[in-house]
Structure 1
Amino acid sequence: MVVKRNKRPVRTLAQGRPPTVQKPKSISRKATRGLINTIHQLEKKKAQAVAKGDKAAEVAADSEISSLGGIQKYQQASLQGQRNDRGGDSSRVLMEWLKPKFHTSGLTADGSLRMLEVGALSITNECSNSGFFDMERIDLNSQGHGILQQDFMKKPLPVNDTDTFDIISLSLVLNFVPNAQGRGDMLLRTLDFLKKPHATGPHDAFPCLFLVLPAPCVTNSRYMDEPLLERIMQALGYMKTHSKTTQKLVYYLWRRTSPTPTKVPAFRKAELRSGSTRNNFSIVLSSSTL
């Protein structure tokens, strides 16, 4: 008589991990988009309430954000969107653009280029793994080792050129700034942290700014389109070298070609396209002398 043995379940490494490091439950595509959009809208409501001095409305918006899980839940949704089956992380596009430049200039993966990643969610994205960059990662709410908890708008200014960067990444960051003037201020502040442009050199792709936005910010806004975005960036001393538009995102690489301008022209919020289905994304720059 053969005695049947109960098969022991096969245990994976993930099953053996303590609960504190288990992977979070996957969020569906629809739920991911809905959560991110809702928190964006609530952050805008909060910013408007703060501007008006409406404390009750500010507290109400904060309460709603907290009920959804706050910034931690937003970041979980964002990380979910970086999975390969959701399109992968945006820095893959950046590396597709830069690798030919590295090849022609003979640059090796020696970490000689300094990169500031604003709104970093991971230390294992394509740029981090490439070996070309000495990475500095910051985020308002750091989710782990290797990412400094810091507000880019409050980051101490560089003391000298060695503290500046060859490239800054603003991937799905600018759209999270709750007001148009704040977005303009953020773009202007990138000039403080980028190296000065050079007329010639072996790495003519740098210094540069990698900018990623939800596609509707540019393709379906009442107040923003690509020609206007180009004019704003040109006024700051940037030239567009690469761009890519997908159904969900727009990717740009802007090379800094001019020193910090002594005077910035004004770019105000003005309707470019009408229609009830348009969104209200905009960027405002106040006329100022630097």
Structure 2
Amino acid sequence: MASNKKRTPKSLAAGRPPTFHRPKSISRKATKTLINRLHLLEKRKRQAIAKGDKAEEAAIDAEIQSLGGIKRYQEASLQGQRHDRGGDSSRVLMQWLQPCLTSKPSSGRRLRMLEVGALSTQNACSKSGCFDIERIDLNSQGEGILQQDFMQRPLPRDESERFDIISLSLVLNFVPDPKGRGDMLRRATHFLFPPGQHLDNPQLAAHFPSLFLVLPAPCVTNSRYLDEERLASIMTSLGYTKTASKTSQRLVYYLWKRDSSCGGAERQFSKKEIRSGASRNNFAIVLD
């Protein structure tokens, strides 16, 4: 049964490197190298924090700053979203949703989307004209993106502050610890409309409210603590049903529908090894 104990949600900033200004031009090879290096440094930093090694933590922070921190990471990610680089994960989402988006709610309103970790106002979802989109990010890259930590965002007071769909594209992997990732997934449910109560169009009601989740593929395909089955169990526990998924060489994409029929007692998921091997990574999601 879900615990009623109040939690103080951790700031996402705890898992993101500090900002540092650098020129914006970056090659494709350099983009990939930079992103991979920053991910590795974040992993090493979490390990140093867990061990209480302040000297190692400071040294890693210094290297992160020398690479440009979150500002540089976001510039690299923006370039990775260019069409000629196969980016913009929201194109996958639009392919999945296009058949149902030909119809609209009888009320005439557009579907509401919350995009967490937004990098651009010109992605496929933005250009579709199907959504009223609220975009937030820890370090806003321009107009149309509110600078805000999702874990500190006030919970909805009424339906005007809820959404039909939430996008967590390459966000969960930047939360610094397994419990924080579980807290983020749990918190997202509070920002979605209650299932089966807000849409009078059956075609749309079959797909919304929903959560779009994108992770680096190794988080699921090569983790000691997480695989497809365990991720599905965690999401089912939170009241979701998987409606679409895709795995590429670099990323895994999921669309989860919030479904009242899946509701009930929320299970606990500890950090439990499910695959062994020296080459495995330690990505995990914990629900306590």
TM range (shorter): 0.7 to 0.9
> Which residues of 2 match residues 79-158 of structure 1 at below 5 A?
79-103=78-102, 105-106=103-104, 112-158=110-156
In 1, distance between residues paired with 2:159 and 2:115?
18
Contact 1:218 1:226 in 2 (8 A): yes
The residue that corresponds to 1:241 in the other structure is 243
Aligned residue identity for 1:163:
E
The residue that corresponds to 1:15 in the other structure is none
- Identity between Structure 1 and Structure 2 (%): 63
Give the deviation of 1:40 after TM superposition.
1.9
Helix, strand or coil: the match of 1:192? helix
Structure 1 pair 162–259 and aligned structure 2 pair: CA distance change class (3 A): farther
Aligned residue identity for 2:127:
N
Match of residue 287, structure 2, among 276, 279, 285: 285
Contact 1:222 1:272 in 2 (8 A): yes
Q: Which runs of 5+ in 1 are unaligned?
A: 1-22
> Which 4+ stretches in 1 moved above 3 angstroms?
44-58, 105-108, 259-263
Give the deviation of 1:100 after TM superposition.
0.1
In 2, distance between residues paired with 1:191 and 1:223?
23
Q: Which runs of 5+ in 2 are unaligned?
A: 1-22
Larger radius of gyration: 1
Helix, strand or coil: the match of 2:214? strand
Contact 2:137 2:149 in 1 (8 A): yes
The residue that corresponds to 2:43 in the other structure is 44
Helix, strand or coil: the match of 2:260? coil
The residue that corresponds to 1:27 in the other structure is 27
Helix, strand or coil: the match of 1:33? helix
In 1, distance between residues paired with 2:183 and 2:273?
21
Aligned residue identity for 2:59:
A
The residue that corresponds to 1:160 in the other structure is 158
TM-score (norm 2): 0.84
In 2, distance between residues paired with 1:178 and 1:33?
21
Helix, strand or coil: the match of 2:215? strand
Using CA pairs below 8 Å that are at least 6 residues apart, which structure has the higher relative contact order? 2
The residue that corresponds to 1:253 in the other structure is 255
Contact 1:196 1:259 in 2 (8 A): no
The residue that corresponds to 1:174 in the other structure is 172
TM-score (norm 1): 0.84
* Aligned-residue CA RMSD (Å): 2.2
Helix, strand or coil: the match of 2:253? strand
Match of residue 213, structure 2, among 211, 214, 220: 211
Structure 1 pair 32–124 and aligned structure 2 pair: CA distance change class (3 A): same
Contact 2:237 2:265 in 1 (8 A): no
Match of residue 268, structure 2, among 266, 269, 289: 266
Contact 1:40 1:178 in 2 (8 A): no
Aligned residue identity for 1:146:
G
Give the deviation of 1:196 after TM superposition.
0.6
